[in-house]
Amino acid sequence: MTTGVLVLVAAVWGASAGALLPRAAYRFAVPSGQPWRDRCPDGRHPVRGWLGGARCGECAGRAEGAPSPLYAPSAPPLAVATALVCAALAAATGTRPELAVWLLLAPVGVLLAAVDLRVRRLPDPLTLPLAATALALLGLAALLPEHAGHWRTALYGALALGAGYYLLYRINPGGMGFGDVKLAVGAGAVLGWYGWPTVLLGSFAGFLLGALYGGVLVLARRADRKTAVPFGPFLLAGALTGLLIGAYAA
């Protein structure tokens, strides 16, 4: 399979998977301590399942032929974001077996970023399975020929990055949530697959992107130095940056 075809297939997969994320984004996007949503915004109709669009099919407006209002991020932005991430991963990784792992994990990363941006929360049902799934799938990839990483380093990377974020959380709980610590375990696993330089690069990129975003907000007078911002999207963006460079260089 040529690189162009591989990238196209990955983009189609990403768009298809991303289009199914809005319902999960709605159900997970609740403040910390509250249960996951199980009804539409009007509270009159149950929201069934976790995958699908962002409209309540039973809400008023549908009877008149007009679609009901969106209650979550619409499918196109999530589909486009996931497609771009998957295409970039395919271009950097090529036909190596770990690409299947990256493509399976990418939609979860996009979903986590969407939820954290809305409510500054990284749900445990996403962060904890992400880390376990990453290590399990990379363990399978390590058994296949032509892989370019090391499972043991992935494990050590998960432990090291999780421990580092936990230390930061203990030092400044107001500046970092415990959800970031759990997400860091999964990020450390995927970065560790390509070695310690990739772990360091991805970690640095996440903090750099977060600092740049905060600086822009301060300059635009939309925040001050004490304003809390969701760090999960920048942790994920940094991990993606490190992963792309690590995959390309492997």
Name which of 210, 211, 246, 241 is nearest 138 in CA terms: 246
CB atoms closer than 10 angstroms to residue 2: 8
**What does the radius of gyration of the chain's CA atoms come to, in whole angstroms?**
19
Exposed / middle / buried, residue 142 (Cβ in 10 Å: 0-12, 13-18, 19+): middle
Q: What is the pLDDT of residue 94?
A: 94
Residue 3 inside a domain? The answer is: no
Average pLDDT for runs of 10 along the chain of length 250 = 90 96 92 86 80 72 49 79 97 96 97 93 93 96 95 97 94 85 97 97 95 82 72 96 95
Return d(Cα 25, Cα 218) in angstroms, integer. 28
Residue 56 inside a domain? The answer is: no
CA angle 224-120-83, nearest 5°?
A: 110
* Number of domains composing the chain: 1
Return d(Cα 250, Cα 245) in angstroms, integer. 8
Return d(Cα 191, Cα 132) in angstroms, integer. 14
Q: Are 99 and 148 in contact (CB under 8 A)?
A: no
| Domain limits for position 197 | 96-249
Tally the residues of the chain. 250
- Greatest extent of the chain over all pairs of C-alpha atoms, in Å: 58
Q: Are 219 and 63 in contact (CB under 8 A)?
A: no
Q: What is the pLDDT of residue 71?
A: 57
Return d(Cα 168, Cα 29) in angstroms, integer. 25
- Amino acid identity, residue 224? D
3-state secondary structure of 27: helix
Residue 30 inside a domain? The answer is: no
Residue 167 inside a domain? The answer is: yes
Contact partners, residue 20, CB within 8 Å, separation at least 6? 51, 52, 75, 107
Residue 112 inside a domain? The answer is: yes
Residue 123 inside a domain? The answer is: yes
Q: What is the pLDDT of residue 116?
A: 94
